[in-house]
Amino acid sequence: MFKTGFFTATAVALGLAAGPASAENPMVGGAPMYADKTIVENAVNSADHETLVAAVKAAGLVEVLNSEGPFTVFAPTDDAFGMLKDGTVEALLEPAAKAQLANILKCHVVGTEAMSMAIKGMVDDDGGVHPVPTLGSCTLQATYSGDKIMLEDERGRTINVTIADVDQSNGVIHVVDRVILPPQS
């Protein structure tokens, strides 16, 4: 269905891409996140991710994100979607924009599980910036400062991880403050 292994063998070599979750997941959008539930099963409970959930449904990606994975999802909040130009979200939710919406959402998904320490390790191994190929054929540039992980999309926009390491049964969610956009054509 989708290609996998996007964070390269570095994560596997470090032994950090998959492994036991922390003892307790952070709350997201006022809701508990359960490590034994899928990305979609948890996301539907977050009051901060109603737009993302609607978009995943409109793009036909529920089945994919409920599958075994593993996935790393950079999950934009409702406020992040609100930063897009007026009318953009409504236009993307229209059936005619399904393929475009699916591509945008796939730019938020990586075909492996990468917790924040694994991402930081890969950034360190790559001299300060690690390329992150996504399922949407976007390549993000990951960096960090202290505990804060940042991504740069192909438009040069900075996306900040605001809540990291939300363990899921099929991967991990990192909440982000902006919608990742593919390069302009």
Crossing angle between the packed helical segments 50-58 and 98-106, to the nearest 10 degrees: 120
pLDDT > 70 in the chain, percent: 87
Predicted confidence (pLDDT) per residue in 29-54, tens digit: 999 999 999 999 999 999 999 999 99
C-alpha–C-alpha distance, residues 26 and 162, integer Å:
11
Q: Of the ranges 3-12, 47-56, 86-95, which one carries the lowest mean pLDDT score?
A: 3-12
The enclosing H or E element of 125 equals helix 116-125
Q: Where does the pLDDT of residue 24 fall: very low under 50, low under 70, confident under 90, or very high at 90 and above?
A: confident
Cβ atoms < 10 Å from Cβ of 13: 12
What is the residue extent of each domain of the chain?
8-14+25-176
Position 121 pLDDT exceeds 50 = yes
Give residue 130's pLDDT: 97
Pick the CATH number of 8-14+25-176 from 3.40.50.2000, 3.40.50.2300, 1.10.150.120, 2.30.180.10: 2.30.180.10
User: Does the structure show a pLDDT above 60 at 91?
Assistant: yes
Q: Please tell me the predicted confidence (pLDDT) of residue 9.
A: 32
Tokens in use for 33?
């996140």
At 15, the pLDDT band (50, 70, 90 cuts) reads very low
Asked if 141 and 129 touch (Cβ cutoff 8 Å), the reply is yes
On whether the CB atoms of residues 45 and 31 are closer than 8 A, the answer is yes
Whole-number mean pLDDT of the chain? Answer: 88
Residue 184 confidence (pLDDT): 78
Q: Which residues, in sequence order, are CB contacts of 176 under 8 Å at separation 6+?
A: 74, 75, 76, 77, 80, 108, 151, 159, 160, 161, 162
Inter-residue contact 64 to 2 (CB < 8 Å): yes
pLDDT at 19 (0 to 100): 37
H-helix or E-strand spanning residue 164? strand 158-168
Which pLDDT score, from 0 to 100, does residue 16 have?
Answer: 34
pLDDT at residue 8 above 90? no
**pLDDT of 4 over the 60 cut:** no
